[in-house]
Amino acid sequence: MIPSTRENMPIKITIHDEVDFQGEKRWIGQVRLVGADQLSEVMILTFSGRYIAVPLACKHAGASLIYAPVEGNTLVCPRHGHAYELVGQNSIAYDVLSDNENFFLITSAQAVSPDVQALKDRIHILEMELEAKSAANTALEEQVVSGMEDMDRMFSEMMSRKTEWKEKSQRLTKLNELVNRVTNTISEVIIIAGPDGHIQRVNKTALSVYGCEEDEFLGRSVDDLLANKDLERFAEDYKGQLNLNKPLLYQLCFAVSSFEAEVSLRFEITSNGNAAIAHPYLLRATRLYDSQGKEEGAIFVCSDISKIKEREYRLRQKENEKSLHLLEATLNQINHGIAVFDETGELLVSNQAFVMITGCDQHWAAPGTSYEKFHQLEMESLSLCTLSPDQRDLNSLRQKACSWESYYHDGRVVDNDTNLMEDGGFVWVSQDVTSLREDAETMRRLSYALEQSPAEVIITNTDGVIEYVNAKFTENTGFSREQAIGHKTSMVRSGHMPHQYYENLWETLKQGKDWSGEVLNKRKDGSLFWQLLSIAPMYEPDGSVQRYLAIKENIDERKKAEEELSRHRDHLQELVDERSRELIKARDEAEQANRAKSEFLSSMSHELRTPLNGILGFAQLMEMSRKDKLSETQREYTQHIFKAGQHLLGLINEILDLAKIEAGKMQLNIMEVDLVAAVSDSIDLVQNMADDRSVTLHNQIDEDVISVYGDPVRLKQVVVNILSNAIKYNRDEGDVFLCVEQEEDALVLSISDSGYGIAKDKMKDLFTPFNRLGVEGQNIEGSGIGLTITRKLVTMMGGDIQVESEEGKGSTFSLYLPTTKPDFIENEDSQLQSDFIVGFNNEIIEEEDGAGPSHTSGKTILYAEDNPSNQFLIERAISNLAGVELVMVNDAKSAVTYAKRHTPDLILMDINLPGMNGFEAMNILRNDVKTQAIPVIALSAKALPEDIEHGLKSGFRAYVTKPVNIPDLLGTINRTFEKKII
């Protein structure tokens, strides 16, 4: 039976049950652990190719672990899920050995080398049995000698015991062979030494590692296993514990419990011990005792740990690299330059700030760069340094901490400090203090400015307690700084200001706002004086307000002046009020006159255009007549009528334009204009006039001239007006030249004629309205306001006009037109929401073309007009449209009634009708479901732009102004029907 009383012996487990779980066997047994009074229930299971024993019950709830599953490295309680480690520092498992018949528990003292210990224990068991047998044989022999009478019985017993001994001896031999096989299969070096410390047995791994035969091992000292350096190390480390006359390694086994050390094995067992095997080994020693506790020897196990050391080295390298990266990242977050040098002066690590501050190249900052390079660079870059080069060389910096200031050629100032490290290296810390020095100088100047300020400067905390006052405070109040600092600002209050005044002051400041106002304060001597007080919060870097800054200026003299001024102000106010009443009266009269002027212009426009409508309209009908063709004489008369009417209409338009400009009602649509196209269109408009006078127009403008900014319609009006004058006031068969020059931000369009020129004394009146400069008696048409309008229009478009003239040789008009949009001009959105707008002489919109296929057959047109002449004119004009029925009414009310009953296809409506006007009628038609889809065209002598815009916004499909252009009107009607059909 295996004893279980000694700590170094295996403890037999008594098995009393066996179960099968997930295809593997588990055994249940009892064992008495060392030092325990009672038996413990354990479970044996297979784990990682070996047997282990664990407590049978869960320590948390007493639940059975028989059917606990193994998950990875843990045994999981099936009831509560608690996991128990099977390997590691917190392991609950014991190692178990088996001889195929019994299980033996291995305690922690045997866990150093389980396989070897198990074999050792088995050997001891067999030896003890053999010892017992030998003792029995000796007793038997004594019995045989002592009495022959028991010979037969003793002989029989002896033979029996001999047979038993033989069987046991055979088992011992088999067990010894098993031990040899097991030890020879182990990859570790196993050495067994006797009690004298000499080798008795080795395994094959030892023979392979040392390259020796077994007989070369046997009998040698165990000290021959190790290299001399390790023996010397052990002798030094344990010299107080070694005193036996035995090999040193053997002594260590018994002097040190569970001896374990990293060692180097000798290259050969027979060598002198100086040469060692390159691989590191882990040596573990276990003591051997017999059954009586007597020292029997020791087992030495050497394990190759080179791979483990290599893994540890790689892990250390990785950790070192990780730590270095972390250090570099941390250092790069620091604004100070930092560089670490080792004891040889080589750079270990530095941050980006160090590179920037010292001005060294980036590749110099790589580890391994010598300090001498940085030292040399610093000497070349500095204009001044507070330490000499010798005081900051490598030897000096390795001996003591140093500090110095470096002044660089580029004006930077850098503070430098070095600190020694324990290993002989040093840390160099640099800080660019240029801005700090500048800030300090700024603060010094600011402080000087505060002290010299002509105004009081006071700084308080948020409770109003004074922390700083300048010299002006003492001068104004009589309180010294010592008397003021630490006291509240209320020390200078006069007591004459309302309490609410100061409450509002503090409420404003608490909201983070500035406050300013006038206060009546009191000096130390009790005299009162007025001050202008301005207070502002002083913000800290974190955004909080900890202090207030107050500026005070004496305003006594100003207050006295204000009082004096106030005495005069009342009298002045009376005078101003009287004058204001006069001005208001004059303004009202002016506004009334302006309104009267506007009404007169509107009325004049209407009254003049109405008869012109008949004159020009019937002249057009006479030319258009196909039934009653005119003779050449009649056609000539008709053309003279039409031309005179056009001239009269032009004069009316010019007068209206001038009036609108002077009234500020002329609106321009400023945009980018193609000057080449505008000039070309203008030449086309005056070409017939030039041909009549045999005047040649020379267009010398290049096609690639850049655009200008202006109102496209008004720009053409300006060019046409100047060209017309150049033709009218030219000689017969004369010339007109047009050219363009580029200036910085403008194009200069010059129009020169070969006419008679302008006298110098008349140049000053050139742009005066209605002044024709003495040509009134000549046969030249004109009103004398064309150039006035031209100059005003050019100015409104951001340009300028200049004139050069020499009497008898001709004149040159130069238009300065901007190439960039003038800042002071804003475009008016004059885009009116209508399909098209019609006017005479292209005043408002594009000209309509009456040609094209007719869509009027079977259509009914309702015409509302109270003037018989206009009714007859439109009736004759509509007769040119095939298949159209024209219905005429005399007022707007009748037009609305007819439209609701008969729903005509088109309505032509005058605006100024008796009773209901055209706008009112339009509103009714648009709000009635029966009539809202009928297109309505306005025919009116109200031709001002605001009239036209009002009409189109009111819903008229088109707004045709009188005098009517018959082809345009017919084209408009035709296109209206065309759009309705589509």
Q: What CATH number is given to the structural domain containing 497?
A: 3.30.450.20
> Which run of H or E residues covers position 123?
helix 114-146
Q: Range with the lowest mean pLDDT among 512-526, 710-724, 836-850?
A: 836-850
Q: Is the pLDDT of residue 778 over 60?
A: no
Domain count, the chain: 6
User: How many Å apart are CA 931 and CA 333, to the nearest integer?
Assistant: 80
What are phi and psi for residue 299, nearest 5 degrees? -110, 130
Residues 557-601: tens digit of each pLDDT: 888 887 777 777 777 777 777 877 877 887 777 667 666 665 666
Assess whether 380 and 515 both reside in one domain. no
What pLDDT is stored for residue 423 in this prediction? 81
Assess whether 218 and 299 both reside in one domain. yes
- Whether 618 and 873 have beta carbons less than 8 Å apart is answered as yes
Task: Give domain status of residue 592, yes or no.
Answer: no
What pLDDT is stored for residue 855 in this prediction? 58
Residues 215-272: tens digit of each pLDDT: 888 888 888 888 888 888 888 888 777 777 888 888 888 888 778 888 888 766 666 6
Task: Give domain status of residue 236, yes or no.
Answer: yes
Q: What is the DSSP letter of 147?
A: -
Mean pLDDT in residue range 627-652: 72
Assess whether 678 and 726 both reside in one domain. yes
Three-class DSSP category at 915 = coil
Task: Give domain status of residue 609, yes or no.
Answer: no
What pLDDT is stored for residue 948 in this prediction? 84
User: How many Å apart are CA 310 and CA 319, to the nearest integer?
Assistant: 14
> What token pair was written down for 361?
């190249």
User: How many Å apart are CA 240 and CA 252, to the nearest integer?
Assistant: 11
> What token pair was written down for 539?
């913000």
Q: Is the pLDDT of residue 364 over 80?
A: no
Please name which of 129, 131, 127, 107 lies closest in space to residue 118, comparing C-alpha atoms. Answer: 107
What pLDDT is stored for residue 99 in this prediction? 79
**How far from chain centre, in Å, is Cα 511?**
31
Q: Prior bond to 247 cis, omega within 30?
A: no
Three-class DSSP category at 162 = helix
Assess whether 81 and 138 both reside in one domain. no
> What token pair was written down for 455?
């105004």
What pLDDT is stored for residue 1 in this prediction? 32
At 981, is the pLDDT very low, low, confident or very high (cuts 50, 70, 90)? very low
> What token pair was written down for 823?
């800042």
What pLDDT is stored for residue 836 in this prediction? 34
Assess whether 275 and 182 both reside in one domain. yes
What pLDDT is stored for residue 841 in this prediction? 34
Q: Is the pLDDT of residue 856 over 50?
A: yes
What pLDDT is stored for residue 272 in this prediction? 61
Assess whether 104 and 132 both reside in one domain. no
Q: What is the DSSP letter of 734?
A: -
Structural domain for 391, as ranges: 335-437
Q: What is the DSSP letter of 847?
A: P
> Across 342-409, where does the E strand assignment appear?
347-350, 382-385, 402-408
Task: Give domain status of residue 39, yes or no.
Answer: yes
Q: Exposed, middle or buried, 771 (CB in 10 Å: 0-12/13-18/19+)?
A: middle
Please name which of 378, 375, 346, 376 lies closest in space to residue 359, comparing C-alpha atoms. Answer: 378
At 158, is the pLDDT very low, low, confident or very high (cuts 50, 70, 90)? low
At 374, is the pLDDT very low, low, confident or very high (cuts 50, 70, 90)? confident
- Whether 97 and 104 have beta carbons less than 8 Å apart is answered as yes
At 699, is the pLDDT very low, low, confident or very high (cuts 50, 70, 90)? very high
**How far from chain centre, in Å, is Cα 227?**
67
pLDDT greater at residue 109 or residue 440:
440
376, 406, 437: which is the final residue of a domain? 437
Assess whether 37 and 132 both reside in one domain. no
- Whether 466 and 484 have beta carbons less than 8 Å apart is answered as yes
Mean pLDDT in residue range 939-952: 82
Mean pLDDT in residue range 902-925: 93
Q: Is the pLDDT of residue 407 over 80?
A: yes
Assess whether 424 and 368 both reside in one domain. yes
Assess whether 144 and 216 both reside in one domain. yes
Mean pLDDT in residue range 659-686: 82
Q: What are the b/e assignments for 697-730, b being 16+ CB within 10 Å?
A: beeebeeebebbbbbbebbbbbbbbbbbbbbbbb
At 830, is the pLDDT very low, low, confident or very high (cuts 50, 70, 90)? very low
What mean pLDDT, rounded, does the chain reach?
Answer: 80
Q: Can you give the CATH number for the domain in which 83 is found?
A: 2.102.10.10
Task: Give domain status of residue 505, yes or no.
Answer: yes
Residues 280-322: tens digit of each pLDDT: 888 888 888 887 888 889 999 988 887 888 888 788 878 867 7
Mean pLDDT in residue range 5-32: 82
275, 309, 343: which is the final residue of a domain? 309
Task: Give domain status of residue 868, yes or no.
Answer: yes
Q: Is the pLDDT of residue 546 over 70?
A: yes
What pLDDT is stored for residue 741 in this prediction? 92
533, 553, 573: which is the final residue of a domain? 553
Residues 605-622: tens digit of each pLDDT: 666 666 766 677 777 777
At 435, is the pLDDT very low, low, confident or very high (cuts 50, 70, 90)? confident
> Which run of H or E residues covers position 683?
helix 675-693
Assess whether 681 and 746 both reside in one domain. yes
Q: Which string of DSSP letters, residue by residue, matches 5-51?
A: SSTTS-EEEEEEEEEEETTEEEEEEEE--TT-SS-EEEEEEEETTEE
Mean pLDDT in residue range 671-687: 89
Assess whether 354 and 469 both reside in one domain. no
Task: Give domain status of residue 37, yes or no.
Answer: yes
Q: Which string of DSSP letters, residue by residue, matches 234-260?
A: HHHHTTTT--SSS-HHHHHHHHSTT-E
Q: Is the pLDDT of residue 687 over 80?
A: yes
The amino acid that residue 780 corresponds to is: I
Task: Give domain status of residue 321, yes or no.
Answer: no
Q: Can you give the CATH number for the domain in which 913 is found?
A: 3.40.50.2300
Instruction: Tell me how far CA of residue 283 lies from CA of 114, 296, 359, in angstroms.
Output: 15, 20, 56
Assess whether 765 and 717 both reside in one domain. yes
